[in-house]
Amino acid sequence: MATQTHFEPQPTNDLNSLDNYPLPLSPPLPLVSKDVELNRALTASSRSALFSLSHNDVIFEDDWLIAVNKPQGIYCESVLSAVPNLLADTNNEHGTKVPELHLANRLDRDTSGVMVITKSHKVAAKLVKAFTEHKVRKTYLALCVGPAPKWGQIIVRSGHGRSKHGAWRVYAASDVGRTLPGGSVVKDMQTSFQALSINGFGCLEAISESGKEGGGDLLIVEEKSPVDFDMKKDEILIRACPQSGRTHQIRLHCQYLGIPIRGDIKYEGVYEWKGKTYDGHELHAETLSFTHPVSGQSILLQAPLPLWANQALGLQR
């Protein structure tokens, strides 16, 4: 990747801001990301205003939950707003009212994949509690661009928090618990990664192993990433399993590993690649698995693969 210009903080005489706060280990936002992100947000707002769901988007539904496959470039709130119309025909047939709907999980605007909506306050509270207590297992797929990793599997443990300019950044694992500007604290962040393919070749059968826990060496982050961004660039499909639920967690850890997600310009991902300009990052919420909050049954929800994932696995050319 070519060298990028970043927002750098201005010098200050406030010793508290310089000496008493932990320093982020990931770089600030690239300067070019401001305009690109603004344009993406405007486009997403227009698309989201017209968004509707069809029954083909439904992954799972029962009396308490409905899970849908969220597309890239649509806000979560617009998906939630589209559910009543989706349910209206069925409810009218049975003479029942549209239930009170709540988002059980949120995805970034440009992240596609499994979204769960609950149909009552009680079920929502139970599922939120399961997410909070890390009893919901999540897997994601991401198409990254960077030097091919030397690991097949790896676990990354670091700190996570907002820098003094409000951007989410990676911090040292040893900084967890320390106070940040604004009064928040550095929180723990851990993600396991598995490399599925490199330049379209690799472990083709890995796509069927999404239910297996990740392994590999443990990387405890204590210093800035040593990755050389001027090395040869490859296309790497990875599966990520976040063991914590921090904002932009997978995107930040991919950036730290030197393999930012394609299209993720906020975290140094390529915006233009092989003659194509990307409208968003290529990150997909592949699966959610949890104990049903009412029936107690084990539930595994899996979203269909996006085109870029199929191509990276060599399943479609």
Give residue 91's pLDDT: 60
Bridge partners (DSSP) listed for residue 288? 138, 301
CA 168, distance to chain mean position in Å, is 13
Rounded average pLDDT over 123-140 = 94
Instruction: Specify the pLDDT at position 89.
Output: 66
Place of tokens 């394609």: 262
Residue 194 tokens, joined: 């598995």
Instruction: Please confirm, yes or no, whether 14 is among the known catalytic residues.
Output: no
Six-digit token string for 261: 């997600």
Catalytic residue chosen out of the listed positions 108, 110, 175, 264: 108
Q: Residue 238's beta-bridge partner residues?
A: 142, 195
Burial group, residue 237, by CB count within 10 angstroms (0-12, 13-18, 19+): buried
- Phi (first) and psi of residue 92, to 5 degrees: -65, -35
pLDDT at 200: 87
On whether the CB atoms of residues 275 and 256 are closer than 8 A, the answer is no
Q: Among 70-79, 91-100, 220-229, 302-311, which stretch is predicted with the lowest mean pLDDT? A: 91-100
Strands 111-118 and 283-291: parallel
* Tens digit of each residue's pLDDT (9 = 90 or more) over 142-189: 999 999 999 999 999 999 999 988 899 999 999 999 999 989 999 999
* Helical residues (DSSP H) of 95-203, grouped into ranges: 121-132
Q: Which of 218, 304, 229, 299 is closest to 270 using CA atoms?
A: 229
Q: What is the pLDDT of residue 93?
A: 53
Work out the percent of the chain whose per-residue pLDDT is above 70: 86
pLDDT band at 195 (very low <50, low <70, confident <90, very high): very high
pLDDT of 164: 85
Q: Which of 84, 85, 77, 141 is nearest to 113 (CA)?
A: 141
- State the angle between helix axes of 33-49 and 76-94 in degrees (0 to 180), rounded to the nearest 10: 10
Q: Are strands 153-162 and 217-220 parallel, antiparallel or unpaired?
A: parallel
Read off the tokens for 304: 């269909």
Report the percent of the chain where pLDDT is more than 90: 76
Instruction: Determine the average pLDDT of the residues in 17-32.
Output: 85
Residue 15, pLDDT > 50, answer no
Query: Which pLDDT tens digit goes with each residue over 241-284?
Result: 999 989 999 999 999 999 999 999 999 999 999 999 999 999 99
